[in-house]
Amino acid sequence: MIADAVLLALFNALLLAAGLGVTGALGWWRGRAFVRVVGLSYLAGVASFGVVAQLLYVAGASMATWQVVGVCDVLALGAVAPRPGRPLPRPAATRWRWAGALVAAMLALLVVDLWFQPLWAYDSWTFWTPKAHALWAIGLDSHWFTQASLTSPDYPILLPAVEAAGFHFTGYEQSLLDLQSLLFFAAFLRAVYEVAHEHADQAVLWAVLAMLAVAPSVSDQLAAAEADVPVAVLFATAGLCGARWLLTREPRALVLAAVLAAGTAATKVEGTAFVVALFLVLAIAGWRGRPFDVGAPIAAGLGALAAGILPWRLWLAAHHVHNQASAARITGAGFLARHAARVPEAAAYMLWKMLDPRAWLLVVPLFLTLWALAARRGGGRLVVFTGATAVLAFASLVFAYWSTRLGLHYQLTTSARRVVTGVVFFCAATTPLLARPLHRSLTDTGYAGRP
């Protein structure tokens, strides 16, 4: 198994190389400064590879080992001659960096724990891992992926595609999927630090990272190896890049937000709603009196949805697969009216799951407190963006429970603790930015509005 873990590390090194190509092409680093964006680059590599792999599967490719390597190599070409740009600054020394030792220690403990944990989650064994195994063994076979006995056949396939690519290196070693999930999470923590440290209060930044690392719900979900952590990681990092665009108006931040958002939409059904909420609010919050201020986020969001979900939806329609996210759920006014009581019940249940300290410690209360303080002192666009995006993303989850044809109680008790992870991670990622007045963030960096 150790040899398989080494091969899994090799595959993830390819994903990192692909991501460095993406961030290099966007001007996030040059020279040795690539070490300052390894977390952000890895997630960009996962999103880019996953979206391209889904498209190639839909187009009929088998995604053999050489194709996996080829896709990563093509994406990595951007690192050969990275676009000139302002690299992220070197982190300044701070007395709070000792908290990094706590984060690193917890991640090391999680490695040991997940190394011995079996893959036990119901959803993992009923459709996430079987889909990955099928993609690895037979590709996107229309007979297998449309069979009536397959659970959630309409879910997009970014995560199974990434896991299937890993199987080409390790063989069908499903016990390593927990470690793959941990890599997503570790990269997210690093990406939050990379993007936020320049604008954030250092004490709050390290407090957020430490709480996320030791949050009980994180270790529980990593052991399940389901798609809730990956979709949350991609959505929250896209939101963080969107917040950076509001602060700096760097085009590269908006483009990278779109890349990560495409991965969000290609990972899970609710990812599409998260992406719509993110870019809709970004367009409103970013308005400064010019059409470009609205047009750029809308174009980025549409591009993300087109790349992340449109090819998959066309494949589903061509093979007559029922779509859980169809317009019928919105237009079924009679059903929604009869089940209006679900709205407060679902909202209250999920809100408790987000606030429960036994799951998320004080991550969400800290966000709410700092958001309220920032609103009182005139936090402006950043306050509007973070608050409205979190509310709309949460509302999309409420609507999903409101409009489901399945029993509400069963749905809430089996999935609510997981699906709120996207909103929790978004709140956590943007919390450090709220700890300082918006005008001070702009003034301190000295390049507000500079491309």
pLDDT in single tens digits along all 451 residues of the chain? 788 899 999 999 999 999 999 999 999 998 888 999 999 999 999 999 999 999 999 999 999 999 999 999 999 999 998 888 888 888 777 777 788 889 999 999 999 999 988 888 888 988 999 999 999 999 999 999 998 788 889 999 999 999 999 999 999 888 899 999 999 999 999 999 999 988 888 899 999 999 999 999 999 999 999 999 999 999 999 999 999 999 999 999 999 999 999 999 999 999 999 999 999 999 999 887 677 778 999 999 999 999 999 999 999 999 998 877 655 566 577 888 998 999 999 999 999 999 999 999 999 999 999 999 999 887 789 999 999 999 999 999 999 999 988 889 999 999 999 999 999 999 999 999 998 644 344 333 433 433 3
Per-residue confidence (pLDDT) for residue 90, from 0 to 100 = 82
Flag whether 8 is in a domain: yes
- Give the structural domain span for 391: 2-84+99-445
Query: Do residues 17 and 35 make contact, with C-beta atoms less than 8 angstroms apart?
Result: no
pLDDT at 448: 40
Which CA distances in Å does 65 have to 166, 256, 355? 9, 27, 43
Please report whether residue 451 resides in a domain: no
Q: What is the CB neighbour count within 10 angstroms for residue 128?
A: 24
Chain centroid offset of residue 274 CA = 10
How many domains is the chain built from? Answer: 1
The pLDDT assigned to 84 comes to 82
Rg (CA), the chain: 21
pLDDT at 89: 83
Residue 387 to residue 371: CA distance in whole angstroms: 7
324 DSSP 8-state letter? T
Residue 256 near residue 23, CB atoms below 8 Å: yes
Q: Quickly tell me which residue has 């994180």 as its tokens.
A: 218
292 is a domain residue:
yes
Amino acid at 317: A
Q: How far apart are CA 12 and CA 183, in angstroms?
A: 9
Q: Are 66 and 179 spatial neighbours (Cβ–Cβ below 8 Å)?
A: no
| pLDDT for 64 | 95
Coil vs helix vs strand at 64: coil
Can you read off the two tokens belonging to residue 92?
């300044």
Quick one: tokens of 311? 């090819």
Can you give the pLDDT at residue 451? 31
**93 lies in a domain?**
no
Residue entry with tokens 């209006």: 340
Indicate whether 450 belongs to any domain: no
Quote the CA–CA distance of 392 and 422 in Å, as a whole number: 12
The Cα–Cα gap between 342 and 334 comes to: 14
pLDDT at res. 438: 40
Q: Which tokens in the block code for residue 10?
A: 């090799």
Judged by phi (left if over 0) then psi (alpha if -120 to 50, else beta), residue 102 lies in alpha
Q: What's the pLDDT at 3?
A: 87
Residue 91 lies in a domain: no
